[in-house]
Amino acid sequence: MVFTRRSFMASTAATLAAVVALPRSARAALAADTLKALTDSDVVYLTPLKRSGAESTCKAEIWFVEDNGAIYLVTSASAWRARAIGKGLTRARIWVGEFGTWTDAKDAFRAAPTFEADGSVVATTEDQGHVLAIMGEKYRASWLVWGPRFRNGLADGSRVMLRYTPV
């Protein structure tokens, strides 16, 4: 085979297309310490990122579940993390571990495993039901109270489910 500029460009384009077609989870694999922390922790600390990449002053420790490498949570529709996604500010920084309320943690959570993720709203009731079932298993002791609150809030629009996919 004669190797020409045209054949080089064609093979490069084919290789690039194959890499881009990899599943998102393969490109955004989480570090082993982060995966372990996600298994062990009941909360993540989350802050939306501004367009400049700077952290928002709003942070929160929040219940979550991990499913296929993505982080899911249910939050008030008026919470800054939900409003940020609505404004197109989809990037967030997430720390994994237990440090108490973020205001009392005095930045201790910053030493925890961390990653950036792209956030989106989970709108289908099928996907929401799947995630709520996983949450019910994880937070079994509190789910009799919080399960109905999450379900009812998702149904009436006072709560939203967010998915954060590592980047």
Cβ atoms of 109 and 97 within 8 Å: the answer is yes
CA angle 83, 128, 119 (to 5 degrees): 35
pLDDT of residue 29: 59
pLDDT of residue 143: 97
Contacts of 165 (CB under 8 A, 6+ apart): 24, 28, 69, 70, 71, 117, 118, 120
Cα-to-chain-centroid distance, residue 61:
13
Handedness of CA 85, 42, 159, 162 (dihedral sign): positive
Q: For tokens 């939306």, name the residue.
A: 48
Handedness of CA 114, 69, 142, 146 (dihedral sign): positive
pLDDT of residue 3: 39
CA angle 27, 31, 65 (to 5 degrees): 90
pLDDT of residue 65: 96
Q: Is the pTM of this model over 0.85?
A: no
Averages of pLDDT over each 10 residues, the chain, 167 residues: 42 38 45 88 92 87 92 96 94 89 79 93 97 97 96 98 96
Q: How far apart are the first and last CA of the chain?
A: 39
Identify how many contiguous H helices and E strands the chain contains and give both numbers. Answer: 7, 7
In degrees and rounded to multiples of 5, residue 43 shows phi and psi of -135, 160
pLDDT of residue 12: 39
Q: Determine the Cα–Cα distance for residues 155 and 59; give it in Å rounded to an integer.
A: 26
Tokens matching residue 20: 């881009």
